[in-house]
Amino acid sequence: MSNNNSELESNSDRIKFGLIGTGARCGGLSRTLVKDPEQRGDVIALCDINQTALKKAEGMVKSYLKHGTKNYTDYRELLDNPDVDAVIISPPDFLHHKMAIDAFNAGKHVFLEKPVGINLDQMIDIVNAAKNSGKTLEVGYVLRYAPFFVEMKKMIDDEEIGEPLFCQALEEYYGAYHFYRGWWKKKANTGGIMIQKICHDMDLHYWMFGKPKKICAFESLMNFKPGGWDNKGAVTCHECENRCPYFTPETGGRTNSDECVFNDPHDITDNCQIIIQFETGLNLSMGMNFFNSRGQSDRHWRVVGSKGEITGRLSTGMIRYDPRFDSTMGFEKTKVYLCNKPGTGGHAGGDAVQILEFLQAIKEGRESKAGIESAYWSSIMIMGAQMSADKDKIVRIQDLTDKYPYPG
Amino acid sequence: MTQFNGKLVLDEDGLLCVKMHISPMNPELYDIPLQELLEDLINKDIFMEVFATQKRWEGEGGSEE
Ligand SMILES: NC(=O)c1ccc[n+]([C@@H]2O[C@H](COP(=O)([O-])OP(=O)(O)OC[C@H]3O[C@@H](n4cnc5c(N)ncnc54)[C@H](O)[C@@H]3O)[C@@H](O)[C@H]2O)c1
């Protein structure tokens, strides 16, 4: 452990945070925290095994909060610090399980980046630890706070489309840069691309449509494999004679690696389709791929109800509503709603809100929006989907909830 | 492809303009003439779909106010 004693001074009324895994994601989250106009939170401790990441976070705290931090390379030492009230846990996914459980056992409130562990055994341990600790859990399901989805949820709850009957969702993500280079590229580190990437969407589906009944999924590796780009088998960018759009320099970049996204071995897939039937009978399909063109990186949603239909693309922040029974047979009754105020920030506006909601939930001693219920059901769905793809069978949700009961 | 949104207004010279942001970093709104927004498409076959929009957040009315 090292610290800047001379400058270590923080405001005692604030909720004191320790940040564990001070990489890319933690930077975004903690900047919102330190810029909170109501100054509800403070950052007093940092932990990362990488000194560069640690220094960067330390610099950020100094520049906004004008004080130093206690810095650790072992997260257990940070958890032993009695001054820390709450932690943000944002290391690679396979570390979430142990760190989250240890944090709850140490009596800390926990903001846990998604996913909630990398399989159902890990998820149930985490939600049980959260429940038993009585502390607040918030999962990094930031899209629950994006105005686009907040408004969509409101429209559904207010029955603007009547009863929701059908849903189609698509995520296209131009993320091969890091997904086939960094820790993401091994299934053992994430549980698979469904769990890593579309656990967000499952959380939104549960939030909007309730409990699922059965689920089936397919995934495959169609493009990010040898032959996906004509480069004579080069396994790094620096030896490649035919640069692809995913070219990166040998050092630097998000993963500090220039492994070829096509030829370097990885065991995650690049696309999937999931079909879910909910208890209401609503059928939903959700697709995802990594080989989209850059201009199409987005989430597309369509929800069809008994009285109308809503569609939209997250990046536009607009939801189009079409009434089902429009006697004009034109578009006269179509409405287009703008959801994002100008200047909406990262994750379609969710980043500016979520961590502050977590602070408020701690202050009020209540569960937060993306808390235990959201952690449990989103994981049942996405890990059920992964199970379906792995075992090539339809997964009945009742079988999962019998084996992994909701914390009592 | 051209895509924009904002309030449709007439400027002092009577030109049809869209009052819009020109970059996410710049909070100012500018009146951009439709002519300017569409001139790259002159003499091309185009597809256009235009809707009035409504804001979903509180404190400001939509374009139907
Ligand atoms: N909610 C979202 O939208 C969202 C977006 C991006 C990432 N994430 C999640 O955030 C987490 C981090 O992702 P990232 O993109 O910041 O990755 P990253 O690789 O940039 O950061 C991870 C950091 O954890 C550190 N680390 C590794 N092992 C550690 C250990 N034993 N102790 C302490 N620190 C350790 C690494 O050195 C690195 O600095 C992941 O779980 C990811 O799924 C969520």
Map out the domains of chain A as residue ranges.
2-140, 144-348+366-403
- Residue A329 has a pLDDT of 62
CA of A49 to the centre of ligand 1 (A): 11
Where do the domains of chain B lie? Answer: 1-60
Size of interface A-B (CB pairs under 8 A): 34
What's the full length of chain B, in residues?
A: 65
Is B63 in CB contact (< 8 Å) with chain A? no
Is A177 in CB contact (< 8 Å) with chain B? no
| Residue-wise burial string across A78-99, b where 16 or more C-beta atoms lie within 10 A, e elsewhere | bbebeebbbbbbbbbbbbbbbb
Per residue in A226-243, pLDDT (tens digit) is 999 999 999 999 999 999
Which CATH number is A144-348+366-403 given? 3.30.360.10
Q: Are A111 and A375 in contact (CB under 8 A)?
A: no
Q: Which fold has domain A2-140?
A: Rossmann fold (3.40.50)
Q: Do B5 and A339 touch (CB under 8 A)?
A: no
Which residue in chain A is spatially nearest to B1 when comparing CA positions?
A295
Domains A2-140 and A144-348+366-403 share a fold: no
Is B27 in CB contact (< 8 Å) with chain A? yes
- Indicate the residue type of A304: V
List average pLDDT for each run of 10 residues in chain A, which is 408 residues long: 48 88 94 91 97 96 96 98 98 98 98 98 98 97 96 97 98 93 95 96 98 98 96 93 92 86 96 98 98 94 97 94 79 86 79 92 94 98 98 98 96
CA of B17 to the centre of ligand 1 (A): 45
- Residue B21 has a pLDDT of 87
Q: What is the DSSP string of A113-125?
A: PSSSSSSHHHHHH
Per residue in B12-64, pLDDT (tens digit) is 999 999 999 888 778 889 999 999 999 999 999 999 989 899 988 765 444 33
Q: Encoding tokens for residue A5?
A: 């004693």
Q: Whose CA is nearest to atom 11 of ligand 1?
A: A90
Looking up tokens 């280079």 gives A181
CA A141/CA A144 separation, integer angstroms = 6
Under 8 Å CB-to-CB from B59, ≥6 apart: which residues? Answer: none
Q: Do A337 and B27 touch (CB under 8 A)?
A: no
